[in-house]
Amino acid sequence: MNQARQPIRSGMGRSTPDRIFVQGRDLVQDVIGKLNLGDMAYLEMTGRLPDKHQSRVFNAILVTLVEHGMTPMAIATRLVYLGAPESLQSAVAAGLCGMGTTFAGTAEGAARMLQAAWDGDGNQDADTLARDVVADFRKRGLSIPGIGHNLHKPRDPRTARLFEVAREEGYAGRYVELMTSIGLHAEAAYGKPLPVNATGAIGALCCELGFSWKAARGVAVIGRAVGLVGHLVEEQGNPIAREIWLRTEEETSCQDETSADIGR
């Protein structure tokens, strides 16, 4: 196993006694007091500073992702904090672990779908691509990422707003067009309201900003980390985790002791 070694390189940051560089920028001169957190996230993820148009679109994406009320992840974060209040960071980590395929894969999936469609055949128009995408998902029996919502119908109000911001900043291009068109074709094909939802809109805007679909989940993680910290600050002043625990424990304890076959 005595193989030739690869050098280990990184451009994230480095320090000297009197200066700190982040992504090639001087942290003290160029970042602190000048960038907001969303712009800093853009710098971290792209190596470039956003212009004011990119800044507004990217911050719009991020703030949309922060808070979704009492999600399973938020409840898990609060329960873990109850057990380990000395490790706030681990409670946030526990909640983040739940951002998997059920709730959080869809922005990523939408971005992937859009990039695959445009990369596959640049000569086609959005309407034709959209029709093919819908037909393909339908044939494979898969649900289309970024389409439909069980509460927000017939329209997801976040989508209209996100696309409006993108238009105002010059970032409502071919990915927004394709995502919108996929929504229309899906509604026609399935004969029911299937609006482009917030994750579909965010997937499209991540593409417009030039992010790869693999980075889209990272954008979602940033937003949700902010939200989970918010839940813990509320939990500090208004603790509810203990009550959720006690109710659940009480209800499951009413059973007799011979119930080991549940779930088998």
Amino acid at residue number 42: Y
Q: How far is the CB of 202 from its own copies (least distance, A)?
A: 11
What radius of gyration, in Å, describes the C-alpha atoms of the chain?
22
Name which of 194, 180, 214 is nearest 143 in CA terms. Answer: 194
Q: How far is the CB of 213 from its own copies (least distance, A)?
A: 11
- Among residues 60 and 129, whose Cβ is nearest to its own copies? 60
- Among residues 90 and 124, whose Cβ is nearest to its own copies? 90
Q: How far is the CB of 114 from its own copies (least distance, A)?
A: 18
DSSP state letters, 91-103: HHHHHHTT-STTT
Q: Which residues of 150-159 are buried (b: 16+ CB within 10 A; e: fewer)?
A: eeeeeebebb
Q: How far is the CB of 210 from its own copies (least distance, A)?
A: 10
- Among residues 131 and 152, whose Cβ is nearest to its own copies? 152
DSSP state letters, 187-203: HHHHTS---B-HHHHHH
- Among residues 22 and 130, whose Cβ is nearest to its own copies? 22
- Among residues 49 and 189, whose Cβ is nearest to its own copies? 49
- List the strands of the sheet with 19-22, edge to edge: 13-16, 19-22, 25-26
Q: How far is the CB of 121 from its own copies (least distance, A)?
A: 22
